[in-house]
A = this chain, B = another copy of it.
């Protein structure tokens, strides 16, 4: 079981994984360098462990220990116990969800293994906002998608904010990074998927029509600001649109993806 270690010094080097959680750039560097990621909140920490991720350590105030007692029982990682005030000093914000865990990243699976047996796959091009990545993966998982592929510039699904918004779907929905961008969609077509790009292009057909009767579908979504690149729009097998009321600028990417996943999953 996890050893409980009381900590009273905010500069204790053992707390290194938890420092300055609001500094996105610093966190990206630190998490990449050490191959770790952070989970926040009892429910999310529990899901990470249940999904097979190994804890490096836990950090929490005393009042959160009981809720995670069973999780701590099954882990060999140390649990740093400190006051809420001290936790705030270390992390740089008020940890109102209480429990934090630092977890080991695992090597990303191959595209082939992520696609094995999958019938509905999300493909994200340059979704750079962690909230949107989390929301899209949550909707995909909830609406029956089997896997997700992320282009090299997409935001990290294991960034704390993405994990939280996804409600842990990033732990359960199989996903990986695409090794390259340019031929990603033709490669998927060669693997038997019909790639359907969500776009406002003039030749786009309603998404319900675009996916009707298809067996293996890869639903392709672009960035928040500019949508899909020309290359991905052109190299997709089909271009699709969510029919919208005139005069409104489209849905945001999280709303559009929820609608498109719903329609595609029920094709």
Report which A residues bind B (CB closer than 8 A): 135, 138-139, 141-144, 165, 167, 169, 172, 242, 244-245, 247-252, 254-259, 262-263
Q: A135-B252, A143-B242, A258-B259 are in contact. List 19 more A-B contacts (CB 8 A).
A: A135-B254, A138-B248, A138-B251, A139-B255, A141-B248, A142-B244, A142-B245, A142-B248, A142-B255, A143-B244, A143-B245, A144-B244, A144-B245, A167-B249, A242-B262, A254-B254, A254-B255, A259-B262, A262-B263
Q: Count identical subunits in the complex.
A: 2
Contact A141 B245 (CB under 8 A): yes
The closest CB in chain B to the CB of A165 belongs to B252
Q: Is the CB of B262 within 8 A of A142?
A: no
Instruction: List B contacts of A172 (CB < 8 A).
Output: 247-248
Interchain CB contact under 8 A, B144 and A255: no
Q: How far is the CB of A55 from chain B (nearest CB, A)?
A: 22
Chain B residues with CB below 8 A from A256, complex form: 258
Shortest beta-carbon distance from A244 to chain B in Å: 5
Complex Cα distance, B169 from A135, in Å, reads 22
Contact check: which of B138, B144, B251 meets A258 at CB < 8 Å? B251
